[in-house]
Amino acid sequence: MKRSIITSVCTVLCLSGVMSSAQQANQPDQVQELRHQLLQLRETFERAEREHRQQIDALQKQIEALRQSKPQPASTPLQALPEPGAASSIPPTPGIEKQGWSPADPIRIGGGRAYMDIGLVGTFAVGGSTADDIEGGTQLGGHDPNQRGFTIQGVEVNFAGAVDPYFRANANLAYLLDSEGESSFELEEAWMETIALPANLQVRAGQYLTEFGRLNTQHPHSWSFVDVPLVNGRFLGPDGLRNPGMRVSWLAPTPFYSEVFLGVQNSQGETAYSFRNDHEGEPLFGRQVSRGQVNSIGDLLFTPRYAASFDLSDTQTVMAGASAGFGPNGSGADTDTQIYGIDLFWKWKPSNHHGGFPFVAWQTEVMLQRYQAGSTFDGSYETDGDGSYLPEETLTDWGLYSQIAWGLHKNWIAAFRCDYVTRADKADYEYVLGDDPHRLPRWRLSPNLTWFPTEFSKLRLQYNYDDREEIGVDHSVWLQLEMSLGAHAAHKF
Partner 1 sequence: MKPNLTLAVFAAWLSVIPLLQARLNVVATTPDFAAVAKSIGGDLVEITTLARPTEDPHFVDAKPSLILKLNRAEVLLEGGAELEAGWLPSLLAGARNPRIAAGSPGHVVCNQDVPMMETPATLDRSEGDIHARGNPHYMTDPANARIVASHLADVFCRIDPKSAETYRANLKKFLDELAVKMADWHKTLAPYQGRQMVAYHNAWPYFARRFGLKIALFLEPKPGLPPTPTHLAEVIARMKKEQVSVIFVEPYLDRRTAETVARGTGAKVIDVAYLPGGIKGTENDYIKLMDYLVTSVAKALADPAK
Among residue numbers 319 through 338, which ones bind partner 1 (CB under 8 A)? Answer: 319
Closest to partner 1 by CB, 13 vs 56, is 56
Amino acid at 488: H
Closest to partner 1 by CB, 298 vs 355, is 355
Q: How far is the CB of 403 from partner 1 (least distance, A)?
A: 18
Cα–Cα distance measured from residue 372 to residue 396, given in angstroms and rounded to the nearest whole number: 9
Cα–Cα distance measured from residue 348 to residue 100, given in angstroms and rounded to the nearest whole number: 45
Among 29-37, 108-116, 327-335, 373-381, which window interacts with partner 1 (CB under 8 A)?
108-116
100 binds partner 1 (CB under 8 A): no
Q: 16 forms bridges with which residues in the sheet?
A: none
103 binds partner 1 (CB under 8 A): no
User: Which residue from 5, 87, 104, 297 is in contact with partner 1, where contact means CB under 8 A?
Assistant: 87
Q: Which residues ranging from 22 to 51 are in contact with partner 1 (CB under 8 A)?
A: 50
Size of the site for partner 1 (CB under 8 A): 71
Instruction: Give the single-character DSSP code of 469.
Output: T
Closest to partner 1 by CB, 29 vs 105, is 105
Among 28-36, 131-139, 174-182, 191-199, which window interacts with partner 1 (CB under 8 A)?
191-199
Name the nearest CA neighbour of 343 among 361, 325, 320, 360: 320
Whether the ω angle into residue 391 lies within 30 degrees of 0, i.e. cis, is no
Instruction: Give the single-character DSSP code of 491.
Output: P
Cα–Cα distance measured from residue 260 to residue 321, given in angstroms and rounded to the nearest whole number: 10
Q: What end-to-end distance do the CA atoms of the chain give, in Å?
A: 109
How far does Cα 246 stand from its chain's mean position?
A: 18
Cα–Cα distance measured from residue 172 to residue 390, given in angstroms and rounded to the nearest whole number: 41
User: Which residue from 118, 169, 197, 414 is in contact with partner 1, where contact means CB under 8 A?
Assistant: 197
User: Which residue from 73, 85, 103, 387 is in contact with partner 1, where contact means CB under 8 A?
Assistant: 85
Among 23-31, 103-111, 272-280, 458-466, which window interacts with partner 1 (CB under 8 A)?
103-111
107 binds partner 1 (CB under 8 A): no
Strands (E) across 287-411 are located at: 301-311, 316-328, 336-348, 359-373, 376-378, 388-390, 393-409
Q: How far is the CB of 413 from partner 1 (least distance, A)?
A: 14
- Residue 446 buriedness (CB in 10 A; 0-12 / 13-18 / 19+): buried
Name the nearest CA neighbour of 375 among 391, 397, 396, 395: 391
With b for 16 or more beta-carbon neighbours within 10 A and e for fewer, the 21-41 pattern comes to: eeeeeeeeeeeeeeeeeeeee
Ordered alpha helix ranges (H), 255-405: none
Q: How far is the CB of 198 from partner 1 (least distance, A)?
A: 9
Q: Which residues ranging from 156 to 175 are in contact with partner 1 (CB under 8 A)?
A: 162, 165, 168
Mask: binding to partner 1, 253-272, rule CB under 8 A, as x and -? --xxx-x-------------
Q: Which residues ranging from 389 to 428 are in contact with partner 1 (CB under 8 A)?
A: 410-411
User: Which residue from 10, 18, 80, 163 is in contact with partner 1, where contact means CB under 8 A?
Assistant: 80
User: Which residue from 33, 43, 311, 425 is in contact with partner 1, where contact means CB under 8 A?
Assistant: 311
Q: How far is the CB of 418 from partner 1 (least distance, A)?
A: 25
Among 130-138, 208-216, 309-317, 463-471, which window interacts with partner 1 (CB under 8 A)?
309-317
Cα–Cα distance measured from residue 33 to residue 43, given in angstroms and rounded to the nearest whole number: 15
313 binds partner 1 (CB under 8 A): no
356 binds partner 1 (CB under 8 A): yes
Q: Reduce the DSSP state of residue 53 to 3 states and report it.
A: helix
Among 72-80, 126-134, 146-154, 334-342, which window interacts with partner 1 (CB under 8 A)?
72-80
218 binds partner 1 (CB under 8 A): no
